[in-house]
Structure 1
């Protein structure tokens, strides 16, 4: 290490720039090449982070504890951009019948997941009820940031080859039930996890009473969700009416028009949060509404393409940072109990909750299993955690963070390895049936 420090090339700043560049490059080109292999882009970038941690980067190992406000807002930005990206690439009409699977995942699977994780954290982990509820609330939602590789394709793309622009004559992957369900679930449940995060905060503070429960339902469930949906719908409709009609006379103006998707993300989120609504819901609903406004308009591709690039940059940088933190020894003091809880979350609680939620859905068993198992956890969970501890100091929060980091690590590796194989198998099965 002393030898490396003497070399100018291995200066902390220059080395960090090198690995950030490699991470962004990996996020840009690897997904299309790795889609059929048991390796995902997050796995590669995580590996880059672990390698980067070997070099003298002057990174504080306690960064994740000492800069919680910064981490809250960085992860917040990553999530809202991922939500806009996810919403803009869903082609399916927003109807009760066609969205029956996401509704089941939200109303049954997510609630059951929160309950089972909370019970596990309290019973096995010895966490206080409030802290156990926080663990369930932050880990339950699937992640729109890390799950992009197993979600639907871009607007009207289906199985279109990105380089040639030719159809590959495959089943429309953008509309298969597994990818659609995972995309829509990740988009909706990030906002719906907030009420339970607030419930944990209330429980850790003054405790719960009948009056507080009614106040929580009225404010954090009915009002905040209603405001998020209303502003998202109106904002998305307004954006569709005016943004899609603005003329673009050159290739440059067409490309730069994609900036509007980033602007719309920040505007919808900012307005909704200013009036105490759930900005996550507003962003995703706004993206869905915009996507349904003149759905064949060519600008939809420009809007999605730009926000997708921004999302890839942020994702790669955050996973790189995650790998560096792990490489610096964040998990050296992990306990057997924390590992057991993580294994239960990834291999038992989420799959079981998914299967229970999809009972009677009439989906093939293999698709039910795939949807239930491929519930990635990631950046969104980190945001909820930092948001909660910045409001109230939870006893046992370090154990919650350790379980959360372990769960994300397990999810990146296990889902990254099995996800492509599962999706490839389902795609080949669809081709045979067609």
Structure 2
């Protein structure tokens, strides 16, 4: 219980401290997730030793569920804050990124895993699938805030946000395929299990269930406002409630809760009449401060330094190679076909700022839990730490370079 209180106190103090300093941080080469990660490292066993995850009954399960909840909250915030006009205008590029982009990143990530870590093909495919989705938590820290709104056009911010919001749930499809191949008995048919349990139940049912929840909630709020029975409503409270409802409902029917949360929030956004007065907060900023930072503190506490040392330079090469190849190679192939007004500087920005983050942690921990192989956790946690570092320190400079490359905003 003492350890739980220590983690809660540390997380709360981090949210308060970084919130108070948020203006200065946004203008610096550092990012809020990076600082939260550093705070976790400082408080953990490799630092001051205030918190010791070895004393917890199941530290990995705690981190997995924290990651699941954080991603669900984050994708809900993305769906709620994205203007519907941007959703319609960006269907082509986001659709291409969700289909061909994910397949391309999966292929590159699996090849990097196989080549640099020497993993068996199926293990490399599973690790590659886990690190494929672009992370909505770290991405939100890049594309939100005053500096991002001033220097990055809406089309670019919405493209990265929508893609990262949707592909975390769709990552379930590519993660489960090699996972089933590794865990099912030899006489069981992998493809039929994948089609039924993963595609139909895990994804299709999640979208239908989430959309139904979002539409009902949106219509209910519209009716309550028209009837004059509701005086005030907060996007922040709605986003949390929708996430919890979609996560719980999806879990009850065996579907993917992350995808259900995104579908619920998107359907709610569509069903709700946003044209008149609405007490709207900056959802993404509020969610980032309240819910996203604790998972990075927890990750910093639990980073497996000893396992990283065993991976050696191959682990470092894997993490760096993943960031340099996984996304840039894919965007180089897809860039000419994206359309929707996205220009060369947009595709360059999209090619680099596609971080590996909390969603990858969730899938990697799930893979380790199901297979008993710790390489998924060890390699993915290293990739996440390097991604938070590199994407965090290059975000401010990247936005400035983008702004300088755009003589006229459009």
TM-score, length of structure 1 as denominator length: 0.82
Deviations 1:64-97 (A, max 9, x none): x953322221211111111111111101337665
What's 1:338 paired with? 315
What's 1:420 paired with? 396
Please point out which of 203, 209, 212 is paired with 1:231: 209
Q: Unpaired runs of 5+ in structure 1?
A: 1-10, 160-169
Alignment of 1:215-226 (within 5 A): 215-226=193-204
Deviations 1:350-404 (A, max 9, x none): 21112222232243222111101111111111111222232332xxx33332221
What's 1:195 paired with? 173
Q: Which moved more, 1:125-134 or 1:206-215?
A: 206-215
Alignment of 1:11-410 (within 5 A): 19-53=10-44, 54-60=47-53, 66-93=58-85, 97-152=89-144, 159=149, 176-206=154-184, 211-246=189-224, 254=232, 258-292=236-270, 293-299=272-278, 301-302=280-281, 305=283, 309-326=286-303, 331-362=308-339, 363-393=342-372, 397-410=373-386
CA distance in 1, matches of 2:29, 2:16: 19
Check whether the contact 2:33–2:138 (CA below 8 A) recurs between aligned residues.
yes
The structure-2 alpha-carbon separation of the partners of 1:257 and 1:326, relative to structure 1 and needing over 3 Å to count, comes to closer
CA distance in 1, matches of 2:185, 2:125: 13
In the TM superposition, residue 428 of structure 1 has moved relative to its aligned partner by 5.0
How many residues are matched?
A: 402
CA distance in 2, matches of 1:56, 1:25: 22
The structure-2 alpha-carbon separation of the partners of 1:66 and 1:126, relative to structure 1 and needing over 3 Å to count, comes to farther
TM-score, length of structure 2 as denominator length: 0.86
Higher helix fraction (1 or 2): 2
In the TM superposition, residue 194 of structure 1 has moved relative to its aligned partner by 0.6
The structure-2 alpha-carbon separation of the partners of 1:207 and 1:45, relative to structure 1 and needing over 3 Å to count, comes to same
